[in-house]
Amino acid sequence: MENQGKKMLESAQALIKKTAEKLGLKEEMIRRLIEPEMVYEFSFPVKMDNGQVRILKGWRIQHNSALGPYKGGIRFHPETVREEVQALATLMTIKCAVAGLPYGGGKGGVAIDPKKLSSAELERLSREYVKKIAHFIGEDVDVPAPDVNTNPQIMAWMIDEYQKIKGYQSKATFTGKPVSMGGSLGRTEATGRGGVIVLKALLSELVKDGSTKILSRLNSSLTLLKQKVSKNFVSPSFNNQKLKSNNEITIAVQGFGNVGYYFAKIASEAGFKVVAVSDSKGAIIKPKGDKLEALDIPLVMECKKEKGTLAGCYCAGGVCDTKGGKTITNEELLELPVDILVPAALENVINDKNMKNIKAKIIIEMANGPVTEEAYEYLSKKGVIIVPDVLANSGGVTVSYLEWVQNKAGYYWSEEEVNSKLEVMMKKAFEAIWEKASKKKIPLKQAAFEVALEKIVSAMV
């Protein structure tokens, strides 16, 4: 997977370079924006249950700290390589700047398949990894969090080990902890919730008359969506407004994990019509005539838990809401005639092979990198609005920041307070990018990178 990591890194660096050149930055500044400030690469021993010792390879990469301490998750994955960790650290710098957080970007990783480890082995791995990074992280230096295959339990082992090594309490050094250890309420749902906040903010802009600058180059199907939105929102500003119950704004969500499930659930609660969801085994829909019916998302989740897969829910004897439904493939889900498409599972799923078949007018990139560069350009030219991952899925790191603030203050907010702060911060982040995109008539991704680089450069001496 070295090549995939290399490709990812080259693409992140090329995006920064292209944006920096457009902003007229000097060569030396571009180098500083591309190169990581610190790369820690190490090997370390972990004792297995059978008494054998495995030597594992790990990384912590600190990309840029102009805006504050490095921030970014730690992933455990067999195919993790240095280039991938560096690419992800680079994108965290951009994401934190886009989200308006006082953080730089970092990322960590261990090349290991954690699914093949017992719980005791996983705990020893987590503690040994922390022994390697403890002296160059800290609440005002570098603040790790969960990522692929790591979770609140692993953060609990890590913070415990860190505090033992340091000999003092420092809860704010890791985020994504269990609530009992200083984690924030609302963190589990935060990424999905943040995506819905951004979607609502986008639709709210689309129905404003002043949005015609950006709408002028939009295709007729988006104009139709604008009419639909205007008809269905009780008020165009719709602060905390629900859509009217008879709304027809349809959404398909790929991925039914942490991000996809909460996006689908919160979007349904807000009145959107979620008509398709999928997991790795396939997608489900409920056709009625030439239309697709709304799925009852919590019921679908109940069924997935019972059957193991979403496909298993199809015609499940009337116990689940998908009775009368149909399974389709993940590829077919992406090409459904819906208003809004939400890839929330894997990278590169919308690419040169299927971009011409995409019918959605808005794509919300909830996964990291689900739309390839080529497809992004093609679809943007066609008038499809694509909300980039660095903005769309920044709700998770935003609530991580709120967790850090609470830990440092020793004062804890209710879930409603956390959600309302998340809403304010996500809307502000969206508005800055929307304004830049409208003013310069550029796609949201380009605007996001420009907003981020301007902030970072202004903080660099």
Instruction: Give the catalytic positions in this structure.
Output: 107
Residue 400 · residue 176 · CB < 8 Å: yes
Question: Which of 144, 260, 325, 388 lies at the binding interface for ligand NAD (CB under 6 A)?
Answer: 260
Residues numbered 172-211 forming contacts with ligand NAD, rule: CB under 6 A: 191
CA distance 216 to 135: 54
CB 433 within 8 A of CB 98: yes
* Binding string, residues 395-414; x marks residues near ligand NAD by CB under 6 A: -x------------------
Q: How far is the CB of 190 from ligand NAD (least distance, A)?
A: 7
Lookup result for tokens 């970007």: 105
**The pair of three-digit structure tokens given for residue 123, joined into one six-digit string:** 């705990």
Binding mask 357-396 for ligand NAD (x = CB under 6 A): ---------xxx------------------------x--x
Q: Which is nearer to ligand NAD, 277 or 292 (CB)?
A: 277
Q: What pairing do the DSSP bridges indicate for beta strands 53-64 and 38-47?
A: antiparallel
Does position 330 bind ligand NAD by CB under 6 A?
Answer: yes
| Cβ proximity to ligand NAD, 63 vs 127, nearer residue | 63
| Nearer of residues 280 and 414 to ligand NAD, judged by Cβ | 280
Q: How many residues sit close enough to ligand NAD to count as binding (CB under 6 A)?
A: 20
Q: Binding pattern to ligand NAD, positions 77-116, x when CB under 6 A?
A: ----------------------------------------
Closest approach of Cβ 316 to ligand NAD, in Å?
18
Q: Which residue is nearest to ligand NAD (CB)?
A: 257
Cβ proximity to ligand NAD: between 230 and 280 the closer is 280
Query: Which positions from 25 to 64 touch ligand NAD by CB under 6 A, shown as an x/- string?
Result: ----------------------------------------
Q: Rank residues 111 and 190 by Cβ distance to ligand NAD and give the closer one.
A: 190
Q: Which is nearer to ligand NAD, 346 or 442 (CB)?
A: 346
Distance from C-alpha of 285 to C-alpha of 288, rounded to nearest angstrom: 10
Query: Least distance to ligand NAD from the beta carbon of 5, Å?
Result: 14
Interacting residue with ligand NAD among 74, 202, 336, 345 (CB under 6 A): 345
Which of 45, 257, 324, 337 is in the footprint of ligand NAD by CB under 6 A?
257
Q: Which of 39, 48, 294, 346 binds ligand NAD (CB under 6 A)?
A: 346
Nearest to 126 by CA among 93, 160, 99, 101: 160
Alpha carbons 250 and 340: distance in angstroms, whole number: 6
Within residues 272-301, the interface with ligand NAD by CB under 6 A covers 278-280
For residue 354 the two structure tokens come to 């299927």
Residues that bind ligand NAD (CB under 6 A): 191, 254-260, 278-280, 330, 344-346, 366-368, 393, 396
